Structure 1
């Protein structure tokens, strides 16, 4: 009986340690993601400011809403450099992130995440030239509330939603194909349909990624590999960051005011 009580007590202590570790792990995930969002917002705002001018004499182009671009803006948004700006974040994800996770230290992975957030800020800076600051802020707050609710549900639900992953990733691939097709068609109706479907897909991915981050930590916490767990936290932060960012962009199509 005493031996059983000892085993039970040890199991309870271990469970409590895992629970405390999980809370710290999730705090690191959300904290890293939040810092990444801040870097993206500041980078986008700063670059948009550097790219515009109020002096007609120094303007190289004028947007339909009256915003004037200086030589920096012309290079970023109107020259072939714009393709580099658009594709650099994708190249980082597909070519660089996996190598960082395999070979880099936790500190290097964290730095890579923040560098990616800055690249996203550069590629998204044009939203400050198209939409009003009020509508961007409003959309961000709505996205934050929706994201918090979806992530909380993914964390607390007892339902196993791991099967959602493959289905949702297939949806993302279909979404990318549809966006490429519409790049040629330039159909506003199709763009709104893509935005609505994309919003649903990344809402589902938010819940899925949250549960996956939680389950991954619980499955590996007993091994005590803190370096791996730290890198896993940054990888989880990246997944949630991308989901949040896509939800924000798709919502901006509906809520953004030019």
Structure 2
């Protein structure tokens, strides 16, 4: 299921300019549905209370960073470019840690993931605002779909990294 999720995200991100608005929305809805099924399995590992607390923390941080990204006069382009590269490093570190299974590296990856997705939330919000103001894709709904996907991915990833800190195992 995770591979199908990646295929859907890359398909939508890569071909958003070639597809019509309704097709893009359909792929986004399909991705969201598949993501919900995947989360059902993840949530079996954590208590409902810890999931709720982590969700509340994520929503607060995400909301604050979106507000910052929307209203700041500071250009976040350089930060966004750096954070995009940092995702590649984060992904490599996660793959390495699958084989190495080092708890210290897991903590470092989790902290880095939170920092990266907090920053990306502000940058993506600013980027979407700039697109909307310039009229790029705003008339046919594609901006709404790619904007929703981008912020959805920021929220989900921030939530998953925070869950590593605040999630209590349901097996305890």
Aligned twin of 1:36: none
> Does 1 or 2 have the higher relative contact order (CA < 8 Å, sep 6+)?
2
Q: TM-score, normalised by structure 2?
A: 0.92
Deviation at 1:225, TM superposition (A): 6.3
TM superposition score normalised by structure 1: 0.63
CA-to-aligned-CA distance 1:104-161 (integer Å, 9 cap, x gap):
2212211211111111122222222110011111100110011000000000001111
Question: Which ranges of structure 2 fall in alignment gaps of 5 or more residues?
Answer: none
Number of residues of Structure 1 aligned to a counterpart in Structure 2: 169
Q: Please, which of 156, 162, 165 is the counterpart of residue 245 of structure 1?
A: 156
1:214 aligns with 2:129: yes
The answer as to whether partners of 2:12 and 2:28 remain within 8 angstroms in 1 is no
Cα distance in structure 2, aligned partners of 1:179 and 1:142: 23
In structure 2, the residue matched to 1:87 is 3
- 1:43-62 to structure 2, matched below 5 A, reads none
Q: Distance in 2 between matches of 1:122 and 1:103?
A: 28
The answer (yes or no) to whether the contact 2:58–2:159 under 8 Å persists in 1 is yes
Give 1:52-131 correspondences, 5 Å limit.
Answer: 85-99=1-15, 101-131=16-46
Q: Secondary structure at the match of 1:103?
A: coil
How big is the alpha-carbon RMSD for the aligned residues of Structure 1 and Structure 2? Answer: 1.5
- Taking the aligned partners of 2:13 and 2:70, their CA distance within structure 1 comes to 25
Q: Which moved more, 1:187-196 or 1:201-210?
A: 187-196
